[in-house]
Amino acid sequence: MSNNNYPRLHNATWPGIVGKGPDSEPVIPFDKMLEFTAAAEVDGVKFDGVDVGLLDPHVHLDGGAEEARKLAGKVGAYGLNIGSLVAPVWGTPAMGSKEERAGFVEVIRKTCEFAKQLEKEGVRSYGVIRIDSASSPESWSADPAGNTRLIAQTFREACDVAADYGEKLAAEGEICWGGMHSWRAMLETLEAVDRPNIGFQADMSHTFLYLLGYNAPQDRILPEDFKWEDREALTEGLKKLTAALRPWTIDFHVAQNDGTVFGSGSHDKTGRHCLATDPNGKLDIAHDAGFWLRDEKGELTKAVKHICWDGCMFPNEIMTQQKTWNDILAALIEVRKLHGWNA
């Protein structure tokens, strides 16, 4: 078991939904995602918990306290914890109409209520609520300054609601979200929110695309003529990226990326999640996680109590093999060996 070591090791459940559905492969049921997570084991170490997307058909947010108790029972039966929660804000864009923005804040209120019920049930004691702008980079680019102000205003209102519940909101750094699609745009949005309970969710795959300037060539960090064999330049790029966003980071996803974008189903193209063992992966996962988990002096920030693997848009054939989840757990264990601590 994982005993008293930090950070705790979590698996994500929403990859069973994201990129799936009628226009792609079938959704993988929540119970199956939970079973694979609970069954994973490497040298006696198992996952400590799961991060959960409050997304239909896995979880019905409008089910309220009853749905939260049901979820807590399922997860708790496996001896697992629940960490961060993904708020289903899509359809209520943060830079949309007054009604849409009010809808965004209402989703956050419902998510916070759900989170408090999970705490009452004894399955959640750490983690954040993940948000994004629910808006495309194309729509944002019509008025960058004005739309960033709208997103910040919506996020501020959401933060104020979350603060009443003792929750923190983490904005996901992903190239498919307007106002969050580059490292510089993300930083400007976070600074504009100006609330103590807003932070950044760093996903090693999604943030990797910030280096290459997808959807924002002007914010590219690596040189245009960069070659993948130039590890020194890649290291310097990662240092610049993390120096800007590490101070904001309150949620962390371990992941691999091969330097390309990918989308499936209705999901826009974003940083491709690769298997931990992918020979085309450009990251040294355990080593490069340290750019996010340690400060410029090399000291552990201890800003997160758990780390999570997010493997969205893997084919179902891959996701329904137990070996996949054992390999992922092994990667998380290696991250903790280099950057963990004992309670």
Query: Is the pLDDT at 41 greater than 90, yes or no?
Result: yes
State the Cα–Cα distance between residues 333 and 47, nearest whole angstrom.
9
| Average pLDDT of the residues of the chain | 93
Q: What is the pLDDT of residues 64-77, one digit of tens each?
A: 999 999 999 999 99
Amino acid at 154: T
Cis preceding-peptide flag for 7 (omega within 30 of 0)? yes
The pLDDT, as a whole number, for residue 21 is 85
CB atoms within 10 A of CB 112: 22
pLDDT digits (tens, 9 = 90+) for 192-249: 999 999 999 999 998 999 999 988 999 999 999 999 999 999 999 999 999 999 999 9
| CATH number of the CATH domain containing 312 | 3.20.20.150
Q: In the chain, what percentage of residues exceed pLDDT 90?
A: 85
Provide the domain limits for residue 104. 5-342
Q: Which residue has the tokens 């909101």?
A: 169
Residues in a beta bridge with 309: 11, 254
Q: Name 298's Cβ contacts closer than 8 Å, sequence gap at least 6.
A: none
Give residue-wise pLDDT tens across range 297-316.
999 999 999 999 987 778 89
Dihedral angle sign, alpha carbons of residues 199, 306, 331, 340: positive
Q: What is the pLDDT of residue 20?
A: 83
The number of distinct structural domains making up the chain is 1
Q: 31 is written with which tokens?
A: 């119970």
SS (H, E, C) the chain: CCCCEECEEEEECHHHCCCECCCCECCCCHHHHHHHHHHCCECCECCCEEEEECCCCCCCHHHHHHHHHHHHHHHHHCCCEEEEEECCCCCCCCCCCHHHHHHHHHHHHHHHHHHHHHHHCCCCCCCCEEECCCCCHHHHCCCHHHHHHHHHHHHHHHHHHHHHCCCCEEEECCCCCCCCCCHHHHHHHHHHHCCCCEEEEEEHHHHHHHHHCCCCHHHCCCCCCCCCCCHHHHHHHHHHHHHHHHHHEEEEEECECCCCEECCCCCCCEECCECCCCCCCCCCHHHHHHHHHECCCCCECCCCCEEEECCCCCCHHHHCCHHHHHHHHHHHHHHHHHHCEEC
pTM score of the predicted model = 0.95
Give me the percent of the chain exceeding a pLDDT of 70: 96
- Token readout for 246 is 């590490």
Rounded Cα gap, residues 13 and 46, in angstroms: 16
d(CA 82, CA 73): 11
Give 270's pLDDT tier (boundaries 50, 70, 90). Answer: low
Asked whether the beta carbons of 5 and 338 are under 8 A apart, the reply is: no
pLDDT of residue 115: 98
